[in-house]
Amino acid sequence: MRVGYARVSTVGQSLEVQHEQLKEAGCEKVFAEKRSGRTAKDRPQLQEAIDYVRDGDVLLVTRLDRLARSVGDLSGIINQLTAKGVGFLCLQ
């Protein structure tokens, strides 16, 4: 299953473009939030997405900066996904 994660930093920004791109890429479910978080722990919908995905699933984002704010954060997220047997795909 393809599962998407979309994020914008402020309430005034729109998630619509990311939602459309993730749906076009075949995502059956999309977790989304309007939140500026420095780490994955600061983003509850990202944590829900990571908890939701299962072995064989793929987590998709439109851009890498929507998922992680630092190399360390990205590494931690990818390690969590890998441990669950989940793939990762960045569309851009």
CA distance 78 to 17: 24
Q: How far is CA 73 from CA 21, 26, 69, 76, 80, in A?
A: 24, 26, 7, 5, 11
Sign of CA dihedral 8, 56, 54, 51: negative
User: Would residue 9 show up in a list of annotated catalytic residues for this protein?
Assistant: yes
The one catalytic residue in 9, 36, 70, 75 is 9
List the catalytic residues.
Answer: 9
